[in-house]
Chains A and B, each alone.
Chain A
């Protein structure tokens, strides 16, 4: 990967929040800031095209429908889905994953004796829906342990699968470890053994190129708000061979073709899975965010984020008593740096950083079982976007370097 040519000064000007104060915003895995053009696209939709899509037979409603469906096509192209009908709009990754667990769980008739294999590093959003499914059906959730350096290999997966494994749920990139797992290889193993693979892409979509067709996953879920789009719009990609057979998750308006008092015919995919009035403004914002990322260049984003990650790790590793969770190599972090400082609780670290106008996150980052597994009660997480600067990383490292002293330690 070459050097990034992103003009960071210029690109930061496009983000209103980054310009309103000197806050170093390093909580990008939680959500990223939004560029003005995304905000403008949403406003423009509401100012010129707003109507309830699908339902009205007048021009304005047709415009709203087109805006929504064009966004669907844009998402399909962005992640290399075969066709736009494979894209279901949801509120966020969590809703997408709940949808799969519920509808696919029913379609597969998951029940007693069946096993669902979930990685130990999963965000609760890709763990609890499976535990709920297991609880309701008598199936068993088993855990796929990664290594301390965050790696997870095909051999690990093979060793954990049994003839009863029907579903494998894994993140492409964990929101704590930051390491990308070889999903295409996993998918091959899953399919050879008759299991489906459900991929949580919430943290990979913002940082890497996605090709769901090459990956050959059965489902892929992500959130718009982590990739420069507004909150409240998310995506589920599913292979049409499954989507066409799955029952709806939520039901209501737009999910049906025919309803009589004794008969229901479900609508075609994707509408079957999009109950009620949809979030057109959000979808339009997501489409604009995709254009924004593509205009910058996904390779450029990746290169820039690797440069920043490399620098941040260099600086943090040089500080005594600081330990970064996961791999040693910056390539295996994707801007996600969860760390601990000996003798200082993450909530105190985060409060002190906040006093220095640095925004990071403390806690278990919705991945509590991973923290138990790693033997750390909680961590502090700094997470980077291409728009962050070396100066912000310097501020983080300088402040982190002072924390033990501030807490009364001699060194």
Chain B
């Protein structure tokens, strides 16, 4: 009667039992992301060492299952990577959601996050899926000024 492909186990597991949803005392980068259309609100925290490697990362906040699971998958992927690599992965993810597809190799790089590909066809949910990634990207490209932090919004740009 229906197609229940969307809320699969990977997604619900990340939503109900997120590994990376907690405070991060050692964070040296923090940024708030807002999705005004749903009221979702997320805080992305990173602990980046002198070599630019993301040693730890976590998020806090409230939101729908898609925003929460997507953020949790993102941290699985970026912890242990350099800022530059994390940024490249964020760009890949955003491209997947925007364009609806990636090459097989690119999909593989996104690991579980690639399972969110179908959101590209659900315009009302795109902002939920990209919230964490968008916030990460703004933070890493320096637009989210760490000295004077302002929330980034999915409505920007």
A residues apposed to B, CB below 8 Å = 344-348, 351-352, 355-357, 363-364, 377-378, 406-409
Contacts and interface: CB of A to CB of B under 8 A. Distances in A.
Contacts of B39: 363-364, 377-378
Contacts of A406: 4, 7, 12
Contact of A408 (B16, B37, B122): B16
B65 interface: yes
Interface string B1-42: 111101101001101100000000000000000000111000
A355 B4 CA distance: 7
Given A345-B63, A378-B39, A407 B1 contact: no
Q: Which among A351, A364, A406 has the greatest number of chain B C-beta atoms within 10 A?
A: A351
Contacts of B16: 407-409
Interface of B: 1-4, 6-7, 9, 12-13, 15-16, 37-39, 62-66, 122, 124-125, 128
19 contacts: A345-B63, A347-B38, A347-B64, A348-B65, A351-B122, A355-B3, A356-B1, A357-B2, A377-B39, A377-B62, A378-B38, A378-B39, A406-B7, A406-B12, A407-B12, A407-B65, A408-B9, A408-B13, A408-B16
Contacts of B3: 355
Contacts of A355: 2-4, 6
A344 B63 CA distance: 10
B13 A363 contact: no
A408 B1 contact: no
A357 B4 CA distance: 12
B6 A351 contact: yes
Contacts of B122: 351
Nearest to B37: A363
Contacts of A344: 65
A407 B15 contact: yes
B62 to A, nearest CB: 7
Contact of A347 (B1, B6, B128): B128
A114 to B, nearest CB: 32
Contacts of B63: 345
Given A377-B62, A378-B39, A407 B2 contact: no
Contacts of A351: 6-7, 122, 124-125
A394 to B, nearest CB: 12
Contacts of B62: 377
B64 A356 contact: no
A250 to B, nearest CB: 29
Nearest to A345: B64
A355 B1 CA distance: 9
Contacts of A356: 1-2
Contacts of B37: 363
Nearest to A408: B12
Nearest to B39: A377
Contacts of B6: 351-352, 355
A351 B128 CA distance: 12
A347 B125 contact: yes
A345 B9 CA distance: 17
